[in-house]
Every structure is written in structure tokens, then in C-alpha cells.
Amino acid sequence: MAIPKYDESSIKSLEWHEHIRTRPGMYIGKLGDGQSPDDGIYVLVKEIIDNSIDEFVMGAGKKIEVEIAEHSARVRDYGRGIPLGKVIECVSKINSGGKFDSEAFQKSVGLNGVGTKAVNALSSYFCVSSHRDGKCKKAEFKFGKLLKEYPEKPSSERNGTEVYFEPDRDIFKNFRFLPTYMEERIWNYAYLNTGLSINLNGKIYESQKGLFDLLSNQIKDSAHYPIIHCKGKDIEIALTHGELYGEHYFSFVNGQHTTQGGTHQAAFREGVVKGVRDFFKKDFDASDIRNYIIAAVSVRIQEPVFESQTKTKLGSTTVTPGGTALRGWMVDFIAREVDNYLHKNPDTAKAIQEQIAKNERERKDIAGIRKLANERAKKAAIHNPKLRDCKIHLIDLKNERKNESMIFITEGDSASGSITTARDVQTQAVFSLRGKPMNTFGEGRKVVYENKELNLLQHALDIENGLENLRYNKVIIATDADVDGMHIRLLMVSFFLQFFPELVEQEHLYILQTPLFRVRNKKETLYCYNESERDIAQSKLGTQSETTRFKGLGEIDPEEFGLFIGDNMRLESVIMPQEANIQKMLEYYMGDNIPQRTEHVISKLRAEAVAEL
């Protein structure tokens, strides 16, 4: 085999914007088309809003305006405004910005000087205007290159910065902004910054009680006792116990929603256990204290260290560089505050004690069957016919590439066979269901161990004790697009929501979208995911085209299937609306209220029929 040429001509130097455009994933995570809340286009908006939030945190500007259209976004804050002489540098020169000065931005989430530049480089049009002390400076860019610089001119507008951008459609294929996905982010900004008013497309978002409001909106009326809410310097917590199995956390660092937790979330869990044990002077099992908990924690620290540019997991170990250990500081604060609160609120203390006793009984009740089921699962794991694992877990023992891994949960041998043949064996695993899984609604935790298939699934994912050991970053339900497939999809989503809701809360659960139609002629083949796309394809390819309707995943040739689970895979993230109550939703859709659901479906069909007329 010939050795490739390697000399001076092989060494390339890229301009800053060329590097970002060549490797966008390094800066904003995955690209996507806007159908998932963690797609890159939402990260772009977040990077701009983060700058405006930092202005508010520094005491400048109590109002932010955000406008989201299908293919563009505008953010206007009323902070200090970028210093006019540095406007262009701040949005187009890597490692330039005020956040390297910890006196100006002491506890900012964006400290690497890249965020706004990434937005600029990945936009087909980017415009920045800074209003400061009666003057305005404006500049326009295209793909990160300066398009036009305007001279300073007088301005009657209030101080602040305005950014308008249009993501590059060549990078973000077929994208469109879905404002609904921005709503949760905006609410989080409001909860974490009391006194701030954010206007998103004409709707005002603001909070007076911070994390107390966040938790109240999440649990509605399902809390077992009044929310414990405590604030200190650079730390705020809120917690209660609810109706959902497991542990549920909303954790933040400097306003950044750390969906994958990190040092601060681990310290919070430890602090709560210590506080409860100190108050009751009993060595309760930690799981009995934390099971069914729902909590929020927010900390602000200088120069936080995250494990990726998308900042979803905190890796910092100190509050300040060379200062107090973050873990110890948080554990001490939380344990002390929880202990003090329980002394002052005996009714809450009694409710927590009853919850712990309930959790202990539940744990002991399933201990025997759990042990037996785990032994069976370990034996099956040696040769698990349900699971076709990916190689990444065999060669990457430290799980450093876990973010690349995914597992498809599919039905039947035919569909699983197609996916298994077409998959990337390095990063993609397949778990095969045997027909329809059981409806677990109303069942206790014991059913997960009694049902062989569900027990094997939880072991394949390694989520029996929470998500800390989750083996796959994406858990993807892949079913046929017919009535039976939709039913299986509903049953699986319900199963995860009931017993592992944090899988949904932390945005690990997805639905695979596969084409319904194939339209082709002798020169071209187009795959269509709905009737509208089919009609457009038929019009484009002409009357001589042939249209095939896929009835199930098993009918798609494995070679073709590879096109739909590769780089162009369409995934729909399973997310819970901000105002949703999981328990009530499960009761409505999976309970015994069949007449009520039937009327709901009929009313929807009537509305659609009227709309078509």
C-alpha cells in the first residue's frame, strides 16, 4: 500500500471562520434541521442570548427582546452595548471579548470568546449594532466575512446590543426554527434571573421567585409537601418529592442548563442526603431519601469548566480558581439549609419521613425479585438475543466516545434485521422487541423485573440505578409508521416516562423518522416522509416516475436503510412541554378513560375536516 504524500504542502492554515465552518460540531454540537431541541440552530440563538443575560447579571439592562422567525433570529438587549471601537473584533476575532476580564464579567457562562463568532461564521447573513452613549456602530457579515462596516452615527436608542442572523442553509439543511423549542430555554432564563423580562415573539416571560417558580410549574399540584426553597450567595436550591419514580433534577451553572449534570448536581444529591440524615440522626439509605425527588439547583462560579463547548455537563471542582472545593462548599450549604428548614417546618419533616419509609418498603418489597431478575439478566447478557451491541463499548472502556453511541429499539426480526445490517457497528446498537410490549401504566416498579423483556432492556441501557451509567447517548424508538407501530411507540414512551422519566427530561429519547414513500425514475430516487413531500417529488420527477409506499421497516432494503440512519438521519426528540404534568398525562392517555379519549380523537378529526373545508 502506497504511503500518502506528506510534506509542507499538506499543512493547511484556515482563517477563523473557515475553521468553524469546516468543523461546526466542535463549536455548537450537532447540526440538525430544527426538529430536535438540541439542534445547532438553537445553540446559535442561545449563544447570543447568553451575552445579553451576562449584561443583566452585571446589573445592566432588565429587558431582552427575542424574535424567532422560520429562518432567522433577532436578539436585542438593553445592557451597556459593545464598546463601539471593538464591535467588529468582538464578533469576528477569535479570543477577543470582554469575558476574559473577570472583573467585567465575573460569573459568565461564555468564557472562551467563541460563541458569537461561531454564530457569525455559520450565518449566511449576520448583522450587529451597538448603541452606546448616544452613538451607534453597525456591521454586516456573510459567512463570517465582513460585508459592510458602517461609520459611527448618532443614536436616539437606549444603550444595548442588537444581533440579527440567518443560519447558513447549506450547513443547516432544510432547517426551520420552532419557537416552541425556544420557550423552555426562555423560561429557564427567567427563572434564573429574577427581575429580568424577556419578550419572545410578543409574549413576556418573567419570574419573581426563581427556582421556586420553576419547580411549581413542573409539579403543579403533585408535590407531597411544600417546596423547600433556599438561596445563598451564588447558590439557589428548590426541592420536594413528587409522584414520578426516580430522581429528577434541573441543574444550572451561571445560567446554563446542564442537562447532563456534573459536579454541582452530584454535590446537591450528597448535600440533601446529609441534611436529612443530620436532622433525623438516622443513617437512611441514600436511595430511600432521594427516590421520587424533584429538585432544581443553580450555582454561579468563576471560570466554570465544562466537558464540551455545548456546556451540558460541569467538570469544575472549585468555586474560584485555586479556591474552595465546589463539592464541599455545596454539600455544607445544602445540608445546613435542609437541616435548618426541617427544624422550622415539622410538617414537612414528617412528610419526608413518611416518604422515606414508603421508599424503603418499596425497595425491600422488590429486593427478592430484583435479585433474581438481575441474575437472569447477567446470564442473558453473555448471549443476549435481544441486543446487538455496538463495538464502541468493547474498545472504549473509559466511555470517552459515549456521546457518539446510540441504540435502536425496534419490533420484530424483520425490522431489526434491516437495521442491524445497515447500521454503523462501531456506534449503533439494536434491541429487538417481540411484538407489542405490555402497557405498564398503573403497575409498580416490580413489573420491570418480572417482565423478562423490560428487564433485559433496562440492563442493556444500564439505567436500573439512574442515568449515570447510561450506555447510549441516544435511545431511539424505531417502529413502523402504521397503527401497530404507533401503538408500540406509545407503549415504549409511556414505559420510559413512568419508570425512567429522566431519560426524557435529559433529552436522550428519540423517535426515528423513516420515509413513507420512494419516488424514482431512471435517473433519480427521492425518499419522502409525508404525502406533501411525495407530491412534490412526483411533480419533480414527472409522470414516468414510480412510487412505492413502504408498509414497514422490514420492507426497506438494508442498503437503502443505511441512508436513513446515517449522517442524514431524521430524529424527533421526545420532550415534555414546560407546563406538562407527566402523571396526569399518563393517566389520560394510558388509563381506563376510553370514552374521554375517544371523544378527544373525534373532536380532533372534526376540527381537521372543518379546516379542510
What is the pLDDT, as a whole number, of residue 153?
Answer: 94
Report the run of H or E that residue 475 belongs to, with start and end.
Answer: strand 474-478
Give domain status of residue 445, yes or no. Answer: yes
What is the pLDDT, as a whole number, of residue 310?
Answer: 58
If asked whether residues 344 and 229 sit together in one domain, one would say: yes
If asked whether residues 143 and 220 sit together in one domain, one would say: no
Residues with pLDDT less than 70, the chain: 1-14, 16, 95-114, 308-311, 319-323, 377-385, 393-401, 577-581, 583, 588-589, 591-594, 596-613
Give domain status of residue 86, yes or no. Answer: yes
What is the pLDDT, as a whole number, of residue 167?
Answer: 94
Residues 6+ apart with CB under 8 A from 132: 80, 81, 82, 83, 84, 159
Q: Determine the Cα–Cα distance for residues 443 and 438; give it in Å rounded to an integer.
A: 10
Alpha helices in 383-523 (DSSP H): 392-395, 412-422, 446-450, 452-461, 483-499, 501-505
Dihedral Cα 163, 168, 172, 175, nearest 10 deg: 70
The parent domain of residue 281 ranges over 211-363
Q: Determine the Cα–Cα distance for residues 568 and 50; give it in Å rounded to an integer.
A: 30
If asked whether residues 160 and 126 sit together in one domain, one would say: yes
Q: Are 38 and 22 in contact (CB under 8 A)?
A: no
Q: Are 416 and 409 in contact (CB under 8 A)?
A: no
What is the pLDDT, as a whole number, of residue 104?
Answer: 41
Cα of first residue to Cα of last residue in the chain, in angstroms, is 67
Q: Is 442 helix (H, G, I), strand (E, B) or coil?
A: coil
Closest by CA position to 191, among listed 297, 341, 39: 297
Residues 6+ apart with CB under 8 A from 573: 35, 36, 37, 38, 507, 509, 510
The cell numbers describing 255, all together, are: 445560567
CATH code for position 295: 3.30.230.10
If asked whether residues 223 and 187 sit together in one domain, one would say: no
Give domain status of residue 602, yes or no. Answer: no
Closest by CA position to 546, among listed 529, 521, 525, 517: 521
Q: Are 108 and 21 in contact (CB under 8 A)?
A: no
Q: Are 402 and 414 in contact (CB under 8 A)?
A: no
If asked whether residues 168 and 179 sit together in one domain, one would say: yes
What are the beta bridge partners of residue 408? 430, 476
Instruction: Compute how many other C-beta atoms are within 10 angstroms of the C-beta atom of residue 88.
Output: 16
Look-up: residue for cell 445592557? 79
If asked whether residues 131 and 179 sit together in one domain, one would say: yes
What residue type is assigned to position 408 of the chain? F
Give domain status of residue 593, yes or no. Answer: no
Domain end position, chosen among 329, 363, 397: 363
What is the pLDDT, as a whole number, of residue 64?
Answer: 96
SS (H, E, C) 218-283: HHCCCCCCCCEEEEECCEEEEEEECCCCCCEEEEEECCEECCCCEHHHHHHHHHHHHHHHHHHCCC
Cα angle vertex 560, ends 533, 539, to 5°?
25
The cell numbers describing 224, all together, are: 407531597
Closest by CA position to 276, among listed 290, 256, 266: 290
What is the pLDDT, as a whole number, of residue 152?
Answer: 93
If asked whether residues 21 and 86 sit together in one domain, one would say: yes
Count, in order, helices (H) and strands (E) of the chain.
22, 23
What are the beta bridge partners of residue 247? none
If asked whether residues 506 and 400 sit together in one domain, one would say: yes
Counted domains in the chain: 4
Q: Determine the Cα–Cα distance for residues 51 and 531; give it in Å rounded to an integer.
A: 42
Over its C-alpha atoms, the chain yields an Rg (Å, rounded) of 26
If asked whether residues 382 and 463 sit together in one domain, one would say: yes
Q: What is the model's pTM?
A: 0.76
Q: Determine the Cα–Cα distance for residues 21 and 143; give it in Å rounded to an integer.
A: 8
The cell numbers describing 201, all together, are: 415573539
Q: Are 91 and 142 in contact (CB under 8 A)?
A: no
Give domain status of residue 96, yes or no. Answer: yes
Instruction: Compute how many other C-beta atoms are within 10 angstroms of the C-beta atom of residue 580.
Output: 13
Look-up: residue for cell 417481540? 434
Task: Please provide residue 297's backbone torsions phi and psi, each rounded to the nearest 5 degrees.
Answer: -140, 135
Give domain status of residue 490, yes or no. Answer: yes
Q: Are 347 and 225 in contact (CB under 8 A)?
A: yes
Q: Determine the Cα–Cα distance for residues 56 and 41; give it in Å rounded to an integer.
A: 24
If asked whether residues 503 and 443 sit together in one domain, one would say: yes
If asked whether residues 198 and 281 sit together in one domain, one would say: no
Give domain status of residue 610, yes or no. Answer: no
Q: Are 571 and 35 in contact (CB under 8 A)?
A: yes
If asked whether residues 354 and 432 sit together in one domain, one would say: no
What is the pLDDT, as a whole number, of residue 111?
Answer: 41
Q: Are 128 and 87 in contact (CB under 8 A)?
A: yes
Domain end position, chosen among 323, 346, 363: 363
Domain end position, chosen among 317, 332, 363: 363
Q: What is the largest CA-CA distance in the chain?
A: 80
Give domain status of residue 23, yes or no. Answer: yes
Q: Determine the Cα–Cα distance for residues 551 and 562; give it in Å rounded to an integer.
A: 18
